[in-house]
Structure 1
């Protein structure tokens, strides 16, 4: 795609994001009250364009503004990396969060989820590395800082998945700390990896009617109390009713333990409180998590 095509299409691409409600919010909060050049709307357009073009540095973004086509879209003729850095510190994150929330709401209104997946959501996280010298509050390792994005992903149709909720924590913070924020809807099935395993939460979910599908921890103490018969041609190795935990600290509710294989054919042990689905369906639900690939 040449630059002329890019900039003639850019306004159309960003129109669902740079909406009147966004500009109204900027006016209401007074973020641009004394701004003469780099407005918040221009800032947003700059970084949306940088995302499309996969820019790696503020200097690269500043160079993009030298394009006449882009200058017309932005309403400014030049910008420096230092100005972009200062604007970063001035923009209200709540304004950008409102853009995200509005986009999710619009996508939901325009699509009809499939019957099978409408109550099936995926919880996952990904870590973003940062410079330790600049972000000491987010120290991750001895020489590295980082933050962690925790996602709740929802199917819009068979092939489209969107992040409908996101929380941000320092990278050191355990995934389990975000379960209250991400796992909270009665009747919904949540799929997540063992980083989110919390047996006390599992008991609470069982009592409240929240469903989950997850992988067991390697050191999990499990006692089988019954097993289900499987079809001869099933790829599932075993399907059992189990108690999880030690006799001194055991879950009150009975769970289901399914041994099957993941999308790459490796053995995997899955815990769930869904007893109404076939074992093969539970295995497929967990494999869907790996198909999304937010993180591993």
Structure 2
């Protein structure tokens, strides 16, 4: 929990005036209990209550106290998620800042994943917004490949188009944004270019472009790269949004795929990097799929403690908070282990204080050595 300073958390709570109507069970106690649920793998509120209250001697160091499952259930259902959203944003900035300063290339992956919610109580608020494939919510994430942490998130209904939320993604100078063709919006591509950032994505099959220049293919890339071209869009929009049309030249790189017969047609505003580098950047988009798989396998976002929309959102946000705290722990202590190994270690020693344990072990060894000096040797 050192990754989330109490002072910074209190600033967020005061900003929203969130503790105005709370008595004993404040927001800090709430977030500590929900982080414990994520890290311990508790399967129900009853198990959460028993496990957390079983370590009553450690509550003082956490600034918490014993919890009741009914109180926690009410808090999840009634409290707004604004505090949790700001905490996630604070930890995202903290986790990616140091790595971003050390790295020359800042590669960001953008995608979304469905959160399936169907059944009793869920149907009351998910039926209206469901799509043909998804009923529940959708988690949108911008993922930093160097820091291995998300840097932006949003939770929406599944019928919200991915490219609609793309306009909310913060754009940074010098960053490289990688996304699939579901984010095909030429006006948004233009905004990325104006922010002095780069993007790598895929052209749609019906994209009307004219070829301006054929670029040479390196000898080493001829087995992979089919063509490398500078292109422009043929047509300009005649609608009111014509000012958002992408008018600058683009790079169209066509590469072979090992697992499919059809080639991959990539679009980018990077006119200087090699075709192989551009293809490799798009290949690294698989990293965000692995992130979604990781949090769904190792954190608590498949089954939920509450069935209201508010409870589900809070549980999703605390899963991201738990992930970021584990990532910060790994960064702070310069651990070589994988994130999964770090989580296993934290889960196994959740209420142990390493410094105190080390001090006791050193004291025990000193006492053992002292007593050894007074022992009579059997063989001299």
Contact 2:226 2:255 in 1 (8 A): yes
Which gives a bigger RCO, structure 1 or 2 (Cα 8 Å, sep 6+)? 2
* Deviation (angstroms), 1:34: 4.6
Is residue 2:261 matched to residue 1:271?
Answer: no
Structure-2 residue corresponding to 1:288 = 284
Is residue 2:85 matched to residue 1:89?
Answer: no
Distance change in 2, residues 1:35/1:251 (3 Å): closer
2:97 & 2:196 partners in 1: Cα distance?
26
Distance change in 2, residues 1:15/1:135 (3 Å): farther
Give the SS at the match of 1:291.
helix
* Deviation (angstroms), 1:286: 0.9
Distance change in 2, residues 1:29/1:228 (3 Å): closer
Is residue 2:246 matched to residue 1:258?
Answer: no
Structure-1 residue corresponding to 2:86 = 98
Is residue 2:162 matched to residue 1:175?
Answer: yes
Distance change in 2, residues 1:67/1:209 (3 Å): same
Distance change in 2, residues 1:41/1:112 (3 Å): same
Where does 1:43-62 land on structure 2 (aligned, <5 Å)?
43-62=30-49
Which residues of structure 2 form unaligned runs of 5+?
239-244, 294-380
**How many matched pairs?**
277
Give the SS at the match of 2:182.
helix
1:18 & 1:173 partners in 2: Cα distance?
35
Larger Rg belongs to: 2
Structure-2 residue corresponding to 1:68 = 55
Is residue 2:202 matched to residue 1:212?
Answer: no
Structure-2 residue corresponding to 1:107 = 95
Quote the RMSD (CA, aligned, Å): 3.2
Structure-1 residue corresponding to 2:229 = 240
Which stretch has the larger CA shift, 18-27 or 194-203? 18-27
Structure-1 residue corresponding to 2:152 = 165
**TM-score, normalisation: structure 2:** 0.63
* Deviation (angstroms), 1:117: 1.5
* Deviation (angstroms), 1:69: 4.3
Report which of the two has the higher share of helix: 2
Structure-1 residue corresponding to 2:68 = 79
Structure-2 residue corresponding to 1:190 = 177
Contact 2:215 2:228 in 1 (8 A): yes
Structure-2 residue corresponding to 1:133 = 123
1:143 & 1:287 partners in 2: Cα distance?
26
Given the alignment, which residue of 116, 119, 141 partners 1:151?
141
